[in-house]
Amino acid sequence: MIALGCDHGGYELMQEVKAYLDSKGLEYKDFGCHSTEAVDYPVYARKVGNAVLDGSCDKGILICGTGIGISIAANKMPGIRAALCSDCFSAEATRLHNDANILAMGGRVVGPGLAVKIVETFLNTPFSGEERHQRRIRLIEEL
């Protein structure tokens, strides 16, 4: 189960992401927003972060205009590792190395074709599980 959240700046791209997930039969919970009317992105970051932390969703996808504000907000939550990605290399690396549990993107930054490839890469790449990466992830929480 994938938790989805966006603000007005990410709303249109999120519709493309949902169409992709539908086409693959992937289940999601849509925490809004539900239109291009202006809203506050921290609200949606929090809803998606909570869904990932309480285990009701395995991963999350957050989109605001730049992806910056919504990822900053999500990363305030202990246990959330939200990775802002505009390319597939980063989406793959953040799963392999950081075990990122939320993908953030900018609706005004990436086009729909690239965004879908980024989502696909993020969802299909497992965490490497390598000891050095596990140690570094632990240190994110401990330091």
Active site residue 57: no
Peptide bond into 64 cis (omega under 30): no
Please identify, among the stretches 29-37, 47-55, 60-68, 92-100, the one whose residues bind ligand RB5 according to the rule CB under 6 A: 60-68
Q: Which of 6, 33, 57, 64 is catalytic?
A: 64
Q: How many residues does the chain have?
A: 143
Binder of ligand RB5 out of 53, 68, 114, 137 (CB under 6 A)? 68
Q: Hey, what are 126's tokens?
A: 């497992």
Q: Count residues near ligand RB5 (CB under 6 A).
A: 8
| Footprint of ligand RB5 on 13-52 (CB under 6 A) | 41
Helix, strand and coil percent figures for the chain, each rounded to 5? 50, 15, 35
Q: How many CB atoms lie within 10 A of CB 111?
A: 10
Would you name the residues annotated as active-site residues? 64, 97
Q: Residue numbers of the site for ligand RB5 (CB under 6 A)?
A: 7, 9, 41, 64-66, 68-69
